[in-house]
Structure 1
Amino acid sequence: MIELLKSLLYSNAGSEINNWALLVFRILLSVELFRVHGLKKFIGKKEIVPNPLGLPPQLNQVMASVADTVVPALVILGIGTRLVVWPTIGVTAVGYFVVHRHDSIAVRDVPYVYTLCFLYLAVTGAGTISADYWLYQHL
């Protein structure tokens, strides 16, 4: 079990500059997601979240809220990065493939880019400047 956990936590982008670049990427990506989508949930602005999969309405709202608020915070800190990005990947992929499938590419590109960026983090992990790497070293 410890070995599985270590393999999920370990991430090294190969050099110090690459690990710093990965940190900056994580921060900028997460801040933008939170600023554009997550902040609305904190200021009380009513947002209608599409539910194309027919999930129970409250579950759908919780998934969107977690993907736009909690996930960005955890990604910035680099906590459980390879696992925590999946709710956001799910929400943005559904946005791209289902919600916006008939829209112009100018509308579809936003969920597409978010999906690709968070998939990248699922594969690479957070890098050495993260809580994941600190935990890996202390297991």
Structure 2
Amino acid sequence: MNDIIKHLLYSDLGTPVANWAMFAFRILLAVELFRVHGMKKFRGNDGKPEVVPNPLGLPQAINNLVATLSDTVVPLMVILGLCTRVAVLPTIGVTAVGYFVVHRHDSIEVRDVPYVYTICFLLLLATGPGSISFDQLIFNHFFNI
């Protein structure tokens, strides 16, 4: 169990430059996701909340919850670097479904947005948030490093 927690929390990227670069990357990525997609969940273009596509036929409440969390709560967790590797999973799912299902017949100009988000969040899943994060603070506290 300790090994799993270590793998989820530890993410020192090796150099201060790499850790600061990941810090900037994850903040810029998360702010953009929230600003462009998260805010639509509260007020769409006409002042009403966005209608979330449901291409997988999930119960509408679950579909809306996952989409809303992935565009509002996940960006906050990514900014903080808090439980980052687990937190990005819903966003990867939503953006991958957007790319492979919702926009599969659209032009590449439309498909590139969910594609880029998916790739960026996969990078965060693989590397973690870097050492400038709450994940690293928690890791250092519990594993005395």
Structures share fold, TM-score greater than 0.5: yes
Distance apart, 1:40 and its partner CA: 2.1
- Whether 2:114 is the aligned partner of 1:111: answer yes
Q: Percent identical across equivalent pairs? A: 65
AA paired with 1:73?
L
Partner of 2:133: 130
Task: Give me the whole-angstrom Cα distance separating, in 2, the residues matched to 1:109 and 1:16.
Answer: 31
Q: Which consecutive unaligned segments of at least 5 residues does structure 1 have? A: none
**SS of alignment partner, residue 138 of structure 1:** helix
TM-score normalised by length of structure 2: 0.93
- Root-mean-square deviation (CA, aligned residues, Å) is 1.0
How far apart are 1:125 and its partner, in Å? 0.2
The correspondence for 1:85, drawn from 66, 73, 88, is 88
Does residue 10 of structure 2 align to residue 10 of structure 1? yes
Matches within 5 A, 1:14-33: 14-33=14-33
Alignment: residue pair count: 139
Alignment partners' CA distance in 2, 1:106 and 1:127? 31
Aligned: 1:72 with 2:65: no
Please give the alpha-carbon distance, in whole angstroms, between the structure 2 residues aligned to 1:82 and 1:13.
14
Structure 1 segments, 4+ long, off by >4 Å, are: none
Partner in structure 1 of residue 53 of structure 2: 50
Paired amino acid for 1:64: A
How many angstroms apart in 2 are the aligned matches of 1:10 and 1:18? 14
Deviation at residue 2 of structure 1 after TM alignment: 2.2
Task: Supply the distance in 2 between the matched residues of 1:7 and 1:86 (Cα, whole angstroms).
Answer: 15
Could you tell me how far apart the structure 2 residues matched to 1:3 and 1:86 are? 20
Task: Please give the secondary structure, in 2, of the residue aligned with 1:49.
Answer: coil
Q: Which amino acid aligns with 1:71?
A: V
